Copies of this chain bind each other. A is one copy, B any other.
Amino acid sequence: MSKSKETLMGSQVTSHVEDEALVERRRAQIVTAATELFAKKGFYRTTVKEIAKLAGVSPGLVYLYVREKEDVLLLVLLQVVEGYAAEIPKAIEGIDDPLLRLMKTVDAYCRVVDRLSAATVLAYRSTKSLSVERREIIQDRELETNEIVAEAIKGCMDAGLISRVNVDVLIYQLVLAAHGWALKSWYLRSRVSLDDYVAGCLENLLTGVMSDKGKGLFENTLQNLKEYTETEGADDV
């Protein structure tokens, strides 16, 4: 996790250009344009020419930084999953209370998904468009994110706040809750706010698995989460 996002990206895709800083800059240009277009029209309906045009470069230039079109998709998807892997840890930094930490993890996950909504849907649509090797790169990154969720759950279990549970199932229920905000936004967004969605998911999923000890803390901690988030939100402004 010590490598920067760019370096990670660079390690997967080869470029004909030497200057690493330039490679990062150009790739960022390309990825930004491609993300927008892929999200709007999908990978196959987007042409390299369109990407180049939106990125303000020539079509030929794209191929100086990428071997084939599919590499652009890989870079785009890497940015998404690495967005997850980067933002969530930042959000839970310094939080010691295991339950709040878990809640905050889910909360942060839902918020990144909200921010990268189109890209998240894109990831679901397009991961299978990648070659097997590239697909595995993405799945590996997704597992890293899951690991963060798993750690948060384990923290609660160690603290005796969560009792019995099939951890694998719970992880994916939480992950899917987060992803679901993007996947089903066409239905949810008009019916429930993100705040209520997060709270609802947490209540439904966590209440059931809490130990008696945990139950006592649940409502309170959920309240903390809300305040916490509001404060942070205010900071942004």
Contacts and interface: CB of A to CB of B under 8 A. Distances in A.
B184 A176 contact: yes
Interface in A112-168: 121, 124-126, 128-129, 139, 143, 146, 165-166, 168
B204 A170 contact: yes
A173 B178 CA distance: 10
Interface residues of A, number: 42
Interface string A89-133: 000000000000000000000000000000001001110110000
A81 interface: no
Contacts of A169: 188, 192, 196-197, 200-201, 204
A204 B124 contact: no
Interface of A: 42, 44-45, 121, 124-126, 128-129, 139, 143, 146, 165-166, 168-170, 172-173, 175-177, 179-180, 183-184, 186-188, 191-192, 196-197, 200-201, 203-209
